[in-house]
Structure formats: structure tokens, C-alpha cells
Amino acid sequence: MTLLELRGVTGGYGPVTVLHGLDLSVDEGEVGVILGANGAGKTTTLRAICGMLGDVGGKVFFDDSEITSRSTQAIARSGIAHVPQGRGTFGDLTVDENLRLGAINRRDGGVDADLARWYEQFPRLGERRSQMAGSMSGGEQQMLAIARALMSRPRLLLLDEPSLGLAPLITREVFDRLGEINKGEGLTMLIVEQNASLALQIANRGWVLETGSIVVQGAAADLAADEDVRKAYLGF
């Protein structure tokens, strides 16, 4: 079943149009990855989905409902969680307080159980639950940002450059965790990433953006195996 669909989506910032008629869809339980160079429109695509652009053309559907004109808050409440570029953790709050903020809109009794669950999935966070987020390493803050988004129990997780600024070993750990969560929870993900090789290893489908348009798309394994695509667009 298609969970997220973009039909002819356009958008940008003021007079500058960044996206030019994007068409893509992500099925429930899939990992999709949007690849491309800086300035290709990857972050803008996620912002269009989240209602963070002032004027979006075309249509965005989530779970068969059009969300194009909804507010960011309403989109989040519908089941979409966004891990922004730069992580966005609250540095003057503890790990535990950051995670509980992720569940602020929930009205069920499962918050403590989910805390225990994600502390188990991200052991470093469990070891540092009383530590101020701002004193943690970049990799630990990235894991915290992901776990905080998961505390809202989303149906779709959007991640913007999760490897940004991280050492290779930490990047591998973050992507391993994302792959495990997708397989274990069946959580649908759409990831924007420049580390194409690593992202394609956990993805089902991929799209390559160039100046706001999709120039290549297909199964992740096919993109990774296509030498011409790798050389022309993916850099590996």
C-alpha cells in the first residue's frame, strides 16, 4: 500500500523555485532514499512534505489523505516525524527530557515502555539518560534526534542527512540502527542523504535529484549496481 505520494510537487523560497514537478511514492514498510548533490532540492523535498514551505504546488498525499495545505503541526499529528539536518536536539535538556518531548502530543500510557524500548535500541542513550544533550558527541546527538522522533510513534520517519558531520564508524552505526528499526518495526522511512553507497544498502527504492528534478529512479539495488549511474550521480 502506498503511504506517501508526491504528485507534480513544486516549491521553493520566495521567488526562487527549487522543486520542479516531483513525482514519487513510498510504500508502507519501505525505506526510500533521495540522493543528489548539495543544492539539488533534497532538503526542500522533505520540507514540502512537512508543510514547511510557504507555497507548494502539486499534491502531497499521506495515507490516502491530501496534506498539501495542512500545517506542520497537523502533519506531525497525522503520523509523520521529521529528523532535521543539524539534529535539532535541545542542548540544555537531558537525554530523558528530550525523549519525553518527542511524546508530548501522545495521550496513551505507553511512554515509559517506549523509553525503555529505545534505550535498549540505542544503548549509548541509556547510559547517558541524565546527561545534557549539548554535552554529547555528534553521533550521540544524532541517535537522540532519531529516538526522539520515534517517541511520537510515527508511521513515516523523514531523515535529513543523518550522516552529516559524523565519523565513518558512527555513520555506519546510525544506518545499521535505521535498518534494524525498519526490519523490526516495519517503519516506513524516507531518507535524504549524500552518502549514497551506505543509504542504498538499507533502502528499497531511490531517486536522484538534480536541480530540483528527478533524473534517475529505481530499485536501490539496481541503482547501486549501475556503473553509469554511480559514476554520473552517486560518486562511488
Neighbouring CB atoms inside 10 A of 3's CB total 21
Q: Say if residue 68 is in the same domain as residue 99.
A: no
Let me know if 89 is exposed, middle or buried by CB neighbors in 10 A (0-12, 13-18, 19+).
Answer: buried
In a domain, 50, yes or no: yes
- pLDDT band with cut points at 50, 70 and 90 for residue 46: very high
In a domain, 116, yes or no: yes
Q: Given this model, what pLDDT does residue 95 score? A: 97
Q: Say if residue 117 is in the same domain as residue 168.
A: no
Q: Which of 119, 153, 187 corresponds to the end of one domain?
A: 153
Q: Give, as one character, the DSSP assignment of residue 204.
A: S
Cβ distance 14 to 55 under 8 Å? Answer: no
Among residues 23, 217, 16, which one has the least CA distance to residue 226?
Answer: 217
**Number of domains, the chain:** 2
Q: Say if residue 173 is in the same domain as residue 70.
A: yes
Q: Say if residue 57 is in the same domain as residue 110.
A: no
Q: Say if residue 105 is in the same domain as residue 200.
A: no
Q: Which of 153, 175, 194 corresponds to the end of one domain?
A: 153
CATH number at residue 230: 3.40.50.300
Q: Say if residue 162 is in the same domain as residue 220.
A: yes
Q: Given this model, what pLDDT does residue 232 score? A: 81
Q: Given this model, what pLDDT does residue 86 score? A: 80
**Across residues 70-95, what is the average pLDDT?**
93
CA distance 19 to 213: 6
CA distance 92 to 94: 7
Q: Say if residue 158 is in the same domain as residue 140.
A: no
CA distance 190 to 31: 6
Q: Say if residue 184 is in the same domain as residue 198.
A: yes
Q: Containing domain of residue 175, as a range? A: 2-79+154-234
Query: 90 φ, ψ to 5°?
Result: -95, 105
Q: Say if residue 114 is in the same domain as residue 219.
A: no
CA distance 161 to 84: 8
Distance of CA 24 to the CA centre of its chain: 15
CA distance 211 to 129: 42
Q: Say if residue 114 is in the same domain as residue 159.
A: no
Q: Say if residue 25 is in the same domain as residue 141.
A: no
In a domain, 84, yes or no: no
DSSP-assigned letters across all residues of 118-154 = HHHHSHHHHHTTTSBGGGS-HHHHHHHHHHHHHTT--
- pLDDT band with cut points at 50, 70 and 90 for residue 88: confident
pLDDT in tens, 204-227: 999 999 999 999 999 999 999 999
Among residues 96, 100, 230, 87, which one has the least CA distance to residue 170?
Answer: 87
Q: Given this model, what pLDDT does residue 56 score? A: 94
Neighbouring CB atoms inside 10 A of 47's CB total 23
Q: Say if residue 69 is in the same domain as residue 160.
A: yes
Whether 93 shows a pLDDT value over 80: the answer reads yes
Residues 6+ apart with CB under 8 A from 202: 31, 175, 178, 179, 182
